[in-house]
Structure 1
Amino acid sequence: MPTTPTREIVTLSGELHLVPVVEFEPGSYARQERPRPGGSGEEVPRDWQHYWEQSLADSGLHLEPLFSGSWFVPISRLTDPHVLRQMLRIKLETIDSAEPVELFDRVIAMSGGQVLFEGEHVVLTPRCCGDLSDLENWEAAARREPDGFWIGHPQVFASWEEPWLLLREEEPDRNGVHRAWHLSPHALAEAVLAARKEQEDFARRLIPLLSERFPPEMTHPLASVLSGLGMPEGTDNP
């Protein structure tokens, strides 16, 4: 007889951090076929870590993930020009030859998103189809405008329960528990500001590398979009 899912709400009273991350999908960087681990990242994290490291090494990348078995890398660690060039090569390989208007219609933010930490503890990671532009959803939630909150799927829903912002998972975990969290919108707002600064710094690091492949009038808008910040204000599609 199936068990009835239970709901567990945790109040996050510690310091909150929102860490922007990029997802490095190993198959995109691998240059040779290799067997995938026989189990999920939760079940065999070391096997997935080894598979991920070997795949990225094919493209000359040696990165430290957010945690063992993860494909997420904090953007604060993405400073090596070679790493950034390889990342941009994969992201833009099918659209380099597009006309400028087509290019900006087709380019979206880097896959990944933002990881919510309480102190050193990971609370929430981006879900499938999340990207760096999900920062705007965290910003809206911090303004107490949680409708439409999205960080990928399976869905995490956001709502307002005075005086807390409530985040709750759509699906139960392996133990049949629907996890949920109460957090202070003020604490989240501070975390969001820090995350935006990190993404702005990331965009600045991309500009000189994009300038190697695109005309000057395109590099700033491209860097902004790829970094999840959208088109800069007052900028028309080149």
Structure 2
Amino acid sequence: MQVQLIPVIELFYLVDSVPLPSGGPYWEHVASWRAYHERNLRANGFSPRLRPYLPGSAFHRIADLSDADIARLIRLHCDEGLTGSADWQQVPPLPGGYVLRVGNLDVLFPQCCSDLGDLQSWKRIAGGKGAYLYSGHPSPDISQQNQSASFDFNGPGEVFAPPPPLHSVTVPLSELTRAVHAADRELRVFAARLALVNAEQALHVPDIETLLIHGR
């Protein structure tokens, strides 16, 4: 069983000149949301080659961003700190998180309020040290036994977006650990690229890795 944790970032910065589609959600109205995000990315100054993780979504693999895209992302996301107020406490971590992919199925996407710092929660689950995963809300119910972790998506309350293709899934902790390590390596490369662009563009964002990835 192949298990992957794929780091993604949500590029969703509203522009008045690009109206939102009238219908949703994006996985049921793919064409209109795909066209919207393409126009929105161009209006925000991102490169035209960028493609989302899923058609119609705003999630993009962090490895797909060019240095120019990263520079534009920093300027957009850190506007509150880069302007005269320089209030870095108002700058949250980059939105996004980790797609849990099991075999050829994407079984869990980052949910509302998730960010790249959520990898710490995945590390605890993979290490057998917890039964609660924070990847935004809602969160799956998790149980651990026989060196495996089971994720149940049928709990009451909020529904997952997009809906998981399975009611539940069980993965070996050894495979989840390998997936966490791979995601961590990809995240460290991205952090180094953030720091390099920050220095080359003389943006002077303080402790950019902590600010945009781990959160203060």
Shared fold (TM-score, shorter chain, > 0.5): yes
CA distance in 1: counterparts of 2:213 and 2:51, whole angstroms: 20
Between the aligned partners of 2:184 and 2:212, the Cα distance in structure 1 is 13
State yes or no: 1:186 paired with 2:171: no
The alpha-carbon deviation at position 155 of structure 1 amounts to 2.1
Bigger CA radius of gyration:
1
Give, in whole Å, the separation in 2 of the partners of 1:198 and 1:31.
34
Contact 2:34-2:57 at 8 Å conserved across structures: yes
Map of 1:93 onto structure 2: 79
State which of 126, 136, 155 in structure 2 corresponds to 1:142: 126
The one-character-per-residue Cα deviations of 1:77-123 (angstroms, maximum 9, x if unpaired) are 11x22211221112111122456xx63x4443210001111233211
Conserved 8 A contact 1:16-1:187:
yes
Structure 1 counterpart SS, 2:135: coil
Q: Residue 12 of structure 2 corresponds to which residue in structure 1?
A: 25
**Contact conserved, 2:80 with 2:90, CA < 8 A, in 1?**
no
Match of 1:51 in 2: 36
Q: Is 1:204 the equivalent of 2:204?
A: no
CA distance in 1: counterparts of 2:136 and 2:37, whole angstroms: 22
Partners of 2:31 and 2:129 in 1: CA distance: 39
Name the CA distance, whole Å, in 1 between partners of 2:3 and 2:166.
21
State how many pairs are aligned: 206
Q: Is this contact kept in 2: 1:202–1:227, CA < 8 A?
A: no
Mapping for residues 56-75 of structure 1, pairs under 5 Å: 56-61=41-46, 62=48, 63-75=50-62
Q: Residue 167 of structure 2 aligns to a residue in which SS?
A: strand
Match for 2:69 among 70, 73, 83? 83
For 1:14-33, what per-residue CA distance to the aligned partner results, in whole angstroms no more than 9, with x for missing partners? 21111101001151xx3514
After TM superposition, give the deviation of residue 46 of structure 1 in Å: 1.7
In the other structure, the counterpart of 1:161 is: 145
- Unaligned stretches of 5+ residues in structure 1: 1-13, 232-238
Identity of aligned residues (%): 26
| SS of aligned partner of 2:9 | strand
Distance in 2 of aligned mates of 1:117 and 1:88 = 28
Q: For residues 146-201 of structure 1, give each alpha carbon's deviation from its aligned partner in whole angstroms, at most 9, with x where no partner exists.
A: 233110112223221333211122356799x9822111111000000010010000
Superposed CA RMSD in Å reads: 2.5
Query: What is the distance in 2 between the residues matched to 1:46 and 1:161?
Result: 42
Residue 126 of structure 1: how far off its partner (Å): 0.4
Structure 1 equivalent of residue 25 of structure 2? 40
Cα shift at 1:39: 2.5
Alignment partner, residue 94 of structure 2: 110
